[in-house]
Structure 1
Amino acid sequence: MTRAFNDYLDMLHGAAPADDAAEIAAAAMARLASFAFGPKSICTVLIAELEGEAIGYLTYFIGVFMDDATPTLHVADFFVSAPHRRRGAGRALMLGAHRIAQDLGASRLFWTVWRRNHDAIRFYDKLGAVLEPQDGSVLMEWRV
């Protein structure tokens, strides 16, 4: 699988690899392969490639928006390596997810973005996404 997803995108963010980076990347890729590409997949991964190298990915799963009982596509993770940003890879990944959502009859896509990540918010705004009004809801995490 594209050299263990290019050593898990060079350990995310292209930082200088640690001594055990290849081992960590291989373990992460094995976990990802088991739940994204296996017979009981719980998510799907779109991969952006340039000349055979993975330069970004978007991971998603399908859920239900109960307000109108329609399918929704939830973007779980989205990443484009820094040297390849602002060159269309991120747009292609998001448009691919949007197309998949349309094909499924989904009513919307959901994802989270850090409030302070202004570049990402501008990028999503240009795609036509809207920042949901702050209605007091917060993202909760409960570790297992």
Structure 2
Amino acid sequence: MDELEQFYGGTPDDLLEARLAQIEEALFGERPAAEALLAWDGDKLVGFASYSFHWPAEGFTTSLYLKELYVAQSSRRTGVGKRLMTALGEIARARRCSRFEWGTDTGNETAQRFYASLGATPNDGKVAYRVTL
């Protein structure tokens, strides 16, 4: 998670205990905000994908929304990201989702090339908004 925070320009100043408590609440709290897939190489965590389900999607179905796909720098270009994306697609099909959606920062050309290599195309029909609370 420190590497992810640094990737987005942050500095992981929070105490480890505080970050672990935030993860615990988000994934295992009374109302989990997301689910996550973890990619391991032996006993080393090398990647993860956090996702949730949006409703309504097409025809009042659900959509699997990938919030974050991250592969450790040392494990990139080894197939970890592709395996995580494949597993997410399988989860979406098993849950009868009509869509599998995600976004990336406009300047993250590496991620955009990766997603294009999987056959994905950008959705120009949406504008994203954010309010920081």
Q: TM-score range by the shorter chain?
A: 0.7 to 0.9
Structure 1 stretches of at least 4 aligned residues deviating more than 4 Å after TM superposition:
none
The aligned residue for residue 96 of structure 1 is: 87
1:141 equivalenced with 2:117 (yes/no): no
Would you say the 8 A contact 1:58–1:79 is kept in 2? yes
Q: CA–CA distance in 1 between the matches of 2:16 and 2:42? A: 21
Q: Map 1:99-138 to 2 at 5 A.
A: 99-132=90-123, 134-135=124-125, 137-138=126-127
RMSD: 2.2
Code of the residue aligned with 2:55 in structure 1: it is V
Percent of matched pairs sharing the same residue: 24
User: What is the CA-CA distance between 1:23 and the residue it aligns to?
Assistant: 5.5
Q: Any stretches of 5+ residues in structure 2 without a counterpart?
A: 7-11
Q: Map 1:20-39 to 2 at 5 A.
A: 24-39=15-30
1:55 equivalenced with 2:50 (yes/no): no
Q: Any stretches of 5+ residues in structure 1 without a counterpart?
A: 1-7, 16-20
User: What is the CA-CA distance between 1:24 and the residue it aligns to?
Assistant: 2.7
SS of the equivalent of 1:83 reads: helix
The aligned residue for residue 84 of structure 1 is: 75
Q: TM-score scaled by structure 2?
A: 0.84
Q: 1:116 to 1:143 in 2, by over 3 A?
A: closer
Q: 1:87 to 1:71 in 2, by over 3 A?
A: same
Q: 1:66 to 1:13 in 2, by over 3 A?
A: closer
User: What is the CA-CA distance between 1:114 and the residue it aligns to?
Assistant: 1.8
Code of the residue aligned with 1:28 in structure 2: it is R
How many residues are paired up?
A: 129
